[in-house]
Amino acid sequence: MFGKKKNAEAEFMEEEMVQEEAAAAKADHAMHVSGMEIGFSIVFLVLGALLLFVPQITPAILCYSLAGGIMIIGVILIVRYFVTEAYKNIQSYGFSFGVLLILCGSIILARTTILSEYLYTALGALMLAASVFKLQNALDLKAIRDAYWWIWLLIAFVFAIFATVIIVNPFSDKKTLAQFASVLVLIDGIISLIGTLYLAFRLRAWKKQLDADPESDETFHDETPGIQGHHAPVEAAHVQAQPGIKTPGGQEDFDEGIDD
């Protein structure tokens, strides 16, 4: 019986280690994704500023700027993937994202003439993609029990609606669309940068706390009502299974255990 108890405890401890490793891997992956989002936020800031404060700029130059920014982010992701030895982590996709961004930037450069005619539609599509990242950030904040996760969730939905409006283009003239999209791209860049930095800060603090005290995180552990502590379910189950030992919910005493 004691051998079974030790095996159960060993299995429980092993399961806890796997859950803690999964939590740490999730934090590392989220922080790598945050780096990519910071890059896109800066690209949005630059594009929004150019659209608002440099009205004489041509759509072709904006496409070149967008392609250049995307390709730079891709190169940074690939370099960081190897420098930080992220290839040792099976949940790291920095190399794949980097190659994808470089390919997207190359396509923009090769089709600048065509894309210039649909510049604001492309910006709306990028804003919609950024809204999906904001949504994921809100869910990550909720997973680590951040009190303000719902604010970022609301922001994600609001910007998804704005992005859809830009893509659908209900405006009667192109100038109104340009002004509307320019302001939103700039604001989206600012909010995305703030949100991504906030997420990275909270994830680092949470991971530091998890490394210092693994039992302080309850996000990736099952909660058992009425039992306190991670080891309590195993201990309680085996103590109740032993005859002759009085448990909080049992009626046996030591003498009855000896008679058995």
Q: Domain residues of the chain, as ranges? A: 25-204
User: Which amino acid would we find at residue 82?
Assistant: F
Average pLDDT on 129-142 reads: 92
Query: DSSP labels for 39-87?
Result: HHHHHHHHHHHHHHH-TT--HHHHHHHHHHHHHHHHHHHHHHHHHTTGG
- Whether the per-residue pLDDT at 147 is higher than 90: the answer is yes
Which residues, 6 or more positions from 25, have their beta carbon under 8 angstroms from its beta carbon? 89, 91
Mean per-residue pLDDT over the chain, rounded: 77
- Whether the per-residue pLDDT at 121 is higher than 50: the answer is yes
* pLDDT for position 215: 60
- Whether the per-residue pLDDT at 221 is higher than 60: the answer is no
- Whether the per-residue pLDDT at 45 is higher than 70: the answer is yes
pLDDT confidence bin for 238, thresholds 50/70/90: very low
Compute the distance between CA of residue 114 and CA of residue 221 in angstroms, rounded to an integer.
52
- Whether the per-residue pLDDT at 246 is higher than 60: the answer is no
The percentage of residues in the chain with a pLDDT greater than 70, rounded to a whole number, is: 68
pLDDT confidence bin for 185, thresholds 50/70/90: very high
What are 207-219's pLDDT values in tens digits? 888 777 766 555 4
pLDDT confidence bin for 8, thresholds 50/70/90: low
In this predicted model, which residue has the larger pLDDT, 124 or 3? 124
DSSP state for residue 100 in the 8-state scheme: H
In this predicted model, which residue has the larger pLDDT, 204 or 191? 191
Give the CATH number of domain 25-204; options: 1.25.40, 1.20.120, 1.10.3470, 1.10.10: 1.25.40
Whether 203 and 140 have beta carbons less than 8 Å apart is answered as: yes
- Whether the per-residue pLDDT at 149 is higher than 80: the answer is yes
* pLDDT for position 225: 37
* pLDDT for position 242: 47
Which residues, 6 or more positions from 3, have their beta carbon under 8 angstroms from its beta carbon? none
What the block records as the tokens of 139 is: 């869910």
- Whether the per-residue pLDDT at 64 is higher than 90: the answer is yes
pLDDT confidence bin for 23, thresholds 50/70/90: low
The percentage of residues in the chain with a pLDDT greater than 90, rounded to a whole number, is: 41
* pLDDT for position 12: 54
- Whether the per-residue pLDDT at 128 is higher than 80: the answer is yes
- Whether the per-residue pLDDT at 28 is higher than 60: the answer is no
* pLDDT for position 172: 84
* pLDDT for position 72: 94
